[in-house]
Structure 1
Amino acid sequence: MAERQLLPALRGGRGTRSLLLTARGLSHLPRGLGNMNGLEGLSLRGNRLRRLSQEVEALSRLKVLNLGNNNLDEVPEQLKYLISLQKLHLFGNKINRIPSSVFDGLQNLVLLNLNNNQLTCLPPEIQRLKNLECVSLDNNQLRSIPKEFCCLRKLRELHLSHNSVIAIPEEIKYLTKLKILILSRNQIEDLPDGLSKMKRLRVLDVAGNNIQIFPTGIESLELEELYCEDNPLFEKKPVSAVQEEDILTLKELTARFILTQLENKNMYLHTAIKNNLEVQTILSHNRKCAQCGRGFLSMWLECVQFVDVKQRMKTSRNLELLPVRTLLCSYNCFNHRDHGLFGIAVP
């Protein structure tokens, strides 16, 4: 039946640019499809395909391919020959594996839709798809995101809702063009500090996770939409300091002294550090106290600042104040009056 419907298109030869074979009960590709080497759009959605024949390898001009709602259990390796492909839809299959070699030839791919499959991991080779702008992986079984995924510097949208992701890599800060990040209904406990460096981010959805507090600087993002309902967010409750003085290590004392001297433009010390890569590496992890502004290294007090963001962005209905992580260098700064910060109670 499908072959008969394909005959008129075959007679058109290279002049045929688009072919729609949706819900035709196909269990294999029609014979002669490989001869349509001028094809730019092909929809095989809603069939019974388990694999693709080698004929598809000849469709080197294909730009859009829809293989959604079939019976594929892995991303077909033949797709690597579709060097012109820009949009690939693989939603609603049974895909649990992506061969790393499939990324070799898809250098023009802009959109990848793998929603509603059975993926538990992503191969690090996905970083080869340098032109990807939109990736959708909703409703899979992903437990983590490889840091190599953050090499996709042109990415604008990332959809990861309804998975089992526990953590997002710090390297997400390199996705500087990302505008939409959907992480709802996962098992995320902590958001990386790098999230606050994503200045183009406009939509962030982390509803239905295990998040208690947001990373430092999140309030400086120009978000238009923020959704965080169904998270155990910290509540605004006063907590008093358990001690008055700090006992700092020699390393911390030395680091704080050096950071203060650098802040005061000590050129001798600046020159000495410039020639010492080990010291540079250690000091590169410094933070600044939210109260006094002085630098510190690895000993701090973690506090919460409750930020009212409801006036400048669309948020979850039940969100009143957003708990944001704030770091202080000492109990002395914590006990300073009127700083508007709250300590984190230890149960």
Structure 2
Amino acid sequence: MIPVNEFRNITSEQNPQFRVLKPWWDVLSEYLGIAMLMIGVFGCTVQLTQDKISCLPNRFTDLSGGDRDCSHLRQHKENESLWEFAITKHLSPNIVEVFGRKNGLDIHQYEFVNHFCYERAVHWYGKYFPYLVVIHSMIFMVASSFWFKFPGTSSKIELFVIILGKCFDSPWTTRAISEVSEERREERMVVWRKNTMTKSATDNDDDMVSLIRSSVKDQKSAESAVSLLDKKEGEQAKALFEKVKKFRTHVEEADLLYLMYVLQTVLKVFKFVLITVYSIVLVPNIQIVVMCSVPPDLTGFGAFCCNYNKAHLFSKLAYCYICFVGVYGLLCIYSLYWLFHRPLKEYSFEAVRLETGINDIPDVKNDFAFLLHLSDQYDALYSKRFAVFLSEVSECRLRQMNLNNEWTGNKLRARLARNASERLELHLFMLPGLPDTVFEVSEVESLKLEMISNVTVPGTVTQLTALQEIALIHSPAKLQLAALNHLRENLKVLRLTFEGPDQVPLWMYTLQNLEELHLSGPLNNELSRNPSLDTLRELKNLRVLTLRSKLTKIPPSIVDVSNQLLRLCIHNEGTRLQVFNSLKKLVNLAALELTGCGLERIPSAVFSLSHLQELDLRENRLTTVEEILSLQHCRRLTTLKLWHNDISYIPEHVSKLRALEMLDASWNKIRVLPLRLCYCTKLRHLDLSHNQLTTLPLEIGILQCLQFLSVAFNSLESLPEELFSCKRLKVLALGNNSISTLSPRIGNLAQLVRLELKGNRLDSLPAEIADCLLLKLTALIVEDSLMDLLPPDVKDRLKHR
């Protein structure tokens, strides 16, 4: 025989982890199913190991020609005598010898009659009762565990119980709950302080000392808990958060598990009703004595009375089985009541939120909710600890802890480097958050955060006493109150790169000691083309403002800082800037940069800036600069940059700019250099590279203050001798022209430190080049073939400087 345990292994789920999804009624039903299966197996064993039936011929025959039934055997009582039907011999008045009847049948006839009558006379329910019990019990077991086997549900269940178990055992669960408990303890302490303000000072002091001691102990215990959560456990908890997110997305969108559980419960209820009805009707047919009609020509007897020796046992087992099925059915009915009476497709963590203090735990629905309801029937602590991994606040805290473990103070110090402003900068790129250990590196002067989401600057930023600059590149940040107060007093430079005007932080407008503000991103609303830059009135020390956006007008709020603003830079990315009204009010502006603003002429508003010293109009659409005459009103203008435009000529009245010291007209289409330019005698830097110049005017020698001259990438064929009268030249860039000879007067440029001649038609270099006392061989940019033609002594002099 097959052991009962083998049947159970076939029909039920053996994974012990699935016990968390078995409520008490399913567990009890499972044990009832095992009991019913044992009844069936026991019945089958009896059925197969014992004789089925025993028959004797019935000598009583009805005179009407029919056979009498065997009711006289069933109705026989102990005080009744059947001696009149027996052969007797009187030995004495009180003693009678009884002789049994001989039927004259051999053993084979009896065996035939027994088998024949078992098949014909015994009711089918009495014969197959044990097998029916086994079959029904197996169906009950299969129906109870079918959703653990079905491919569409078993994978989700298995994944759920694995994640649930890991969440239950994770040390992060205890850590997160303890942290919140500690925070709530601090809140209660604050409330306690407020409520006890009316008490005596002595009592307050004593209570306060005891409370502080308890809080110190709690803090120490929390720190020990932190130390217990090592890096490996932190990474495991991080992976758990990701698994929970994916599982929730996968399961919460369907209700297949709920429907499968309902269907298998309905099936069990249907089986319960069916078994109960037909069993009650058929159990009376299990009789001990049955009558069997056999053809008389086989044995000579037409009727046999047969004893079905297992009928008594089977009838008792049947009634016992009906009782088990009844209890099983009641459990199934209760299960249906639980399924339809309670909202199992919704699960609220309200009680968990109140108990743990983690207020952002979301409610769940559909199959996810149903699984949690089932686990609550096993142990509600599972869902409570599982809820920690649904909280974004908890995830952020874990992320922060992992960050702190990964980015130690020494690792952060190794990333320190000087930036363009010569500040000691710490650059963090694409981290999941801002490590708390950053605020332990006190020597940081500039903090640059790039592609970091959910940045919250804590009050510990006050530890960075040298911090003067913050750059937030696609890293929206929030400030705690203590951090805001500190940065309001100490921050000098702020650089923001964002994707929309709504990402511009409001705390930016309160930094009263800020000196430089650099904004990069769209400042226009979707519904309005006007820039949405709030008032800058509180930025009382702002000196430099940079806007990298696509503006159609200069933001009016710039006027709020008109008295102190010294430098304004607008990088408009090719969008045409049309309205300059606000520009006129920047009376103290010293530097103006309008890059990529689609300008076709110099804006007239510029001419009213009497304190302007530097004007940069790079990457615009300028074809002429006739308005340059009006720049004479800007009497302090020393730097004019017109590079990367389409200017074809420079007007003669450029000489009116008497204070001009730097002119950059590179990357244009200038063919002729105006003679009057040479009367800007203060000119020290002149860049005319990447143009279409063919000659330089003889008056170039007037520029005695010239230190930098670049005419590279032009079409010059010769150089005027007067050029070499500019004895203060330090850099002379003549590369990529058509120059065929270089005058020996090059030696007059005693202060020359760099000379570019590569890309010309020179056949040789004059030996007087060695008279340029500050020129080194490495700063002489020329073809190797020309370098080889230099006399050895000239090369040595250049090489050993």
Give the TM-score of the pair, scaled to structure 2.
0.30
- In structure 1, the gaps of 5 or more residues are 237-304, 324-347
Q: Distance in 1 between matches of 2:677 and 2:578?
A: 26
Match of 2:518 in 1: none
CA contact (8 A) 2:580 2:603 kept: no
The amino acid that maps onto 1:162 is: H
Paired residue secondary structure (1:7): coil
Cα distance change of structure 1 residues 218 and 60 upon mapping to structure 2, 3 Å threshold? same
Match of 2:550 among 25, 37, 54: 25
Q: Distance in 2 between matches of 1:51 and 1:150?
A: 34
The amino acid that maps onto 2:600 is: D
**Deviation, structure 1 residue 13:** 7.7
Q: Distance in 2 between matches of 1:140 and 1:205?
A: 17
Give matches, 1:85-124, under 5 Å: 85-98=612-625, 99-124=627-652
- Per-residue deviation, residues 218-249 of structure 1 (Å, max 9, x unmatched): 2221221111111111359xxxxxxxxxxxxx
Match of 1:46 in 2: 572
**Deviation, structure 1 residue 152:** 1.4
Cα distance change of structure 1 residues 199 and 5 upon mapping to structure 2, 3 Å threshold? same
Match of 1:316 in 2: 781
The amino acid that maps onto 1:41 is: R
Match of 2:587 among 60, 63, 71: 60
Match of 1:234 in 2: 763
Q: Distance in 2 between matches of 1:40 and 1:141?
A: 32
CA RMSD of aligned residues (A): 2.6
- In structure 2, the gaps of 5 or more residues are 1-500, 502-522, 524-529, 791-801
Paired residue secondary structure (2:755): strand
The amino acid that maps onto 1:97 is: T
Q: Distance in 2 between matches of 1:215 and 1:308?
A: 9
CA contact (8 A) 1:71 1:94 kept: yes
**Deviation, structure 1 residue 210:** 1.1
**Deviation, structure 1 residue 4:** 6.3
Q: Distance in 2 between matches of 1:186 and 1:77?
A: 32
Q: Distance in 2 between matches of 1:164 and 1:183?
A: 10
Give matches, 1:8-23, under 5 Å: 8-9=535-536, 11-12=537-538, 16-22=542-548
Match of 1:77 among 604, 607, 610: 604
Give matches, 1:326-341, under 5 Å: none
1:157 aligns with 2:622: no
Q: Distance in 1 between matches of 2:660 and 2:723?
A: 20
Paired residue secondary structure (1:181): strand
- Per-residue deviation, residues 248-269 of structure 1 (Å, max 9, x unmatched): xxxxxxxxxxxxxxxxxxxxxx
CA contact (8 A) 2:703 2:726 kept: yes
Q: Distance in 2 between matches of 1:139 and 1:169?
A: 20
**Deviation, structure 1 residue 160:** 1.1
Cα distance change of structure 1 residues 322 and 158 upon mapping to structure 2, 3 Å threshold? farther
CA contact (8 A) 2:535 2:557 kept: no
CA contact (8 A) 1:42 1:65 kept: yes
Of 24-33 and 140-149, the range deviating more from structure 2: 24-33
Paired residue secondary structure (1:43): strand
Cα distance change of structure 1 residues 130 and 18 upon mapping to structure 2, 3 Å threshold? same
CA contact (8 A) 2:629 2:656 kept: no
Paired residue secondary structure (2:597): coil
Cα distance change of structure 1 residues 100 and 225 upon mapping to structure 2, 3 Å threshold? closer
User: How many residue pairs end up in the alignment?
Assistant: 253
Q: Distance in 1 between matches of 2:676 and 2:709?
A: 17
Match of 2:207 in 1: none
Cα distance change of structure 1 residues 122 and 17 upon mapping to structure 2, 3 Å threshold? same
CA contact (8 A) 2:562 2:586 kept: yes
Of 207-216 and 307-316, the range deviating more from structure 2: 307-316
Give aligned-pair identity as a percent.
26
Return the structure number with greater helix share.
Answer: 2
**Deviation, structure 1 residue 216:** 4.9
Paired residue secondary structure (2:538): helix
1:189 aligns with 2:717: yes
Match of 2:562 in 1: 37
**Deviation, structure 1 residue 123:** 1.3
Paired residue secondary structure (1:217): helix
Paired residue secondary structure (1:102): helix
* Larger relative contact order, structure 1 or 2 (CA cutoff 8 Å, min sep 6): 1
CA contact (8 A) 2:655 2:676 kept: yes
**Deviation, structure 1 residue 12:** 3.3
Find the structure with the greater CA-based Rg.
2
- Per-residue deviation, residues 33-56 of structure 1 (Å, max 9, x unmatched): 446431222111134234442331
CA contact (8 A) 2:551 2:577 kept: no
Cα distance change of structure 1 residues 322 and 216 upon mapping to structure 2, 3 Å threshold? farther
Q: Distance in 1 between matches of 2:753 and 2:637?
A: 28
- Per-residue deviation, residues 154-186 of structure 1 (Å, max 9, x unmatched): 111111111001111111111111111111000
**Deviation, structure 1 residue 190:** 1.6
Give matches, 1:265-304, under 5 Å: none
CA contact (8 A) 1:113 1:137 kept: yes
**Deviation, structure 1 residue 120:** 0.5
CA contact (8 A) 1:307 1:321 kept: no
Paired residue secondary structure (1:161): coil
Paired residue secondary structure (1:200): coil
Give the TM-score of the pair, scaled to structure 1.
0.66
Q: Distance in 1 between matches of 2:693 and 2:788?
A: 26
CA contact (8 A) 1:77 1:101 kept: no
The amino acid that maps onto 1:45 is: H
Match of 2:657 among 129, 136, 153: 129
Cα distance change of structure 1 residues 78 and 37 upon mapping to structure 2, 3 Å threshold? same
Q: Distance in 2 between matches of 1:322 and 1:132?
A: 41
Q: Distance in 2 between matches of 1:112 and 1:100?
A: 10
Q: Distance in 2 between matches of 1:321 and 1:148?
A: 41
